[in-house]
Amino acid sequence: MWNHSSPRRLAAACAAAAAAARRRYSRASPPQATAIRVKNHIASVGDGEPKEGPKPRQLLSLPPFPSHPLPAFSFKEASSSSSSSSSSSSSSSRVTAISWVKYYFHGVQNSVVQSHFNKGLVQMECAPSDDSCPGQQGQRKSLRKIKPNEVMEAGARLCMPVSIAESRISRRFDTIPSGTLYPNADEIQYLQRLVMYRDSAVIVLNKPPKLPVKGNLPVHNSMDALAAAALSYDYDEGPKLVHRLDTESSGLLLMGRTKESVAHLQWLFSDMKKTDSSFQAWNDACRATNQRYWALVIGSPKEKEGLICAPLSKVLLDDGKTERVILARNSGLEPFQEAVTEYRVLGPTINGCSWIELRPHTSRKHQVRVHCAEALGTPIVGDYKYGWFVHQRWKQMPRVDFEPTTGKPYKLRRPEGLDVQKGSVLSKVPLLHLHCRELVLPNIAKFQEFLDQKSEAPRPVLSSKSHMLRFVAPMPSHMKISWNLMSSYLV
């Protein structure tokens, strides 16, 4: 006889067995989760595998933190980041990591710098005695994350993704004025937009590429001629050049507004042996004067940083008119000039090129270009005068570069459209990628009255903030495009 309660007991037993099986299964090996993804209004079931973490970015290396006070640096941020119990004297001598990054990348928005710190992308090279750093991987220096309020010490190096200096590219390119010695209203406005700083002694401009600096008979729209006509402002005469930049290069150009300031600046940028004066503040300011260039070169130097001491000489080509600068031979038969350039590699080699920072210690014609092409063997992109053969070979090279830590290949991001590739590293004929980015010099307007005194009266003591000027010029559009391309991430 069939028992009506048996099916119920059997169903209950099966349910209990299934629950026990589920419990045993969940304890031993949890079931794999499923993920539902929606794309273009179409749902799909994924395998639930965790997403791959962020790919490593190319790292940009900052120079070692200097032991001397930073020129024209405001310690407002450093003071605000210190604790309220610290005294004002102690906080003024403390520079935090975020203040140092903002100082070096002058012009980058504070929110961008803060975002890189919040994401933990800013790292510092570990000292050998630092126990907080992970073990070194091969020959690569180990890095550790740094907090924005950590105080910088002399010699410390920071590394961060090169994306921190990325910038938006305007699709509108400025046109170079093509007027005569008497510029019109549009050309005057164009030149005045180039002015970054002006006081009673100097004018600092951000020179665009392809604009000649020193004019001759067939060149009327040179910078000196146009500035004399358009940048006199309230002075009777226009400013005068105190140093030069190549026509194809760009960056900071310094001009003196008075005869006295022109004389002091020409002496400052000359290569003659300078003797110390009785004014100690002026001597310190002169020793701190420097120019720093950023350049994109083909290849990468063997050493990441160094000092190039290679004298230069001038030769005439077969046509008897064209002059060329070459490395001097040690024959002793030809005249030469001493030339010294300090260099530092900013990041890894991407697309067959690398960014380097150059600081010339002497002022020779085409010094930076010749030292890059012949001394380092890495000519500047767009320098066809000193790197023509390397450019031809570089165009035929396979452009595959690998990330140094993981060994994975980089993939270059290419912008949409051809208009934003004008003159960049993607162009068939790139423009010269050489830019005078940073200029540090004495505040001539502050020193003027004391330098003109002939008596040996006691000199006043000037603060380090007032007797030095520092300028940082943004790169031109074609170099910004190349920088954004070179800062592409692993894909």
- Catalytic residue set: 246
- Token pair of 189, please? 């406005």
d(CA 283, CA 442): 10
Amino acid identity, position 196? M
Is residue 58 classed as helix, strand or coil in its secondary structure? coil
Specify the pairing of strand 340-345 against strand 305-309.
antiparallel
Per-residue DSSP letter, 164 = G
In angstroms, the Cα distances linking 437 to 216, 306, 315, 357, 424 are: 27, 19, 30, 9, 18
- Token pair of 47, please? 């395998």
d(CA 55, CA 408): 10
d(CA 460, CA 467): 11
Quick one: which of 249, 337, 252, 325 has its CA closest to 290? Answer: 252
Quick one: which of 207, 216, 261, 196 has its CA closest to 235? Answer: 261
Is residue 249 classed as helix, strand or coil in its secondary structure? coil
- Token pair of 479, please? 């170099």
Quick one: which of 104, 23, 103 has its CA closest to 62? Answer: 104
In angstroms, the Cα distances linking 490 to 11, 40, 53, 223 are: 57, 26, 11, 42
Amino acid identity, position 460? P
Q: From the CB of residue 416, how many other CB atoms can be counted at a distance below 10 Å?
A: 7
Specify the pairing of strand 240-241 against strand 290-298.
unpaired
- Token pair of 149, please? 């309020």
Contact indicator for 205, 255 with CB cutoff of 8 Å = yes
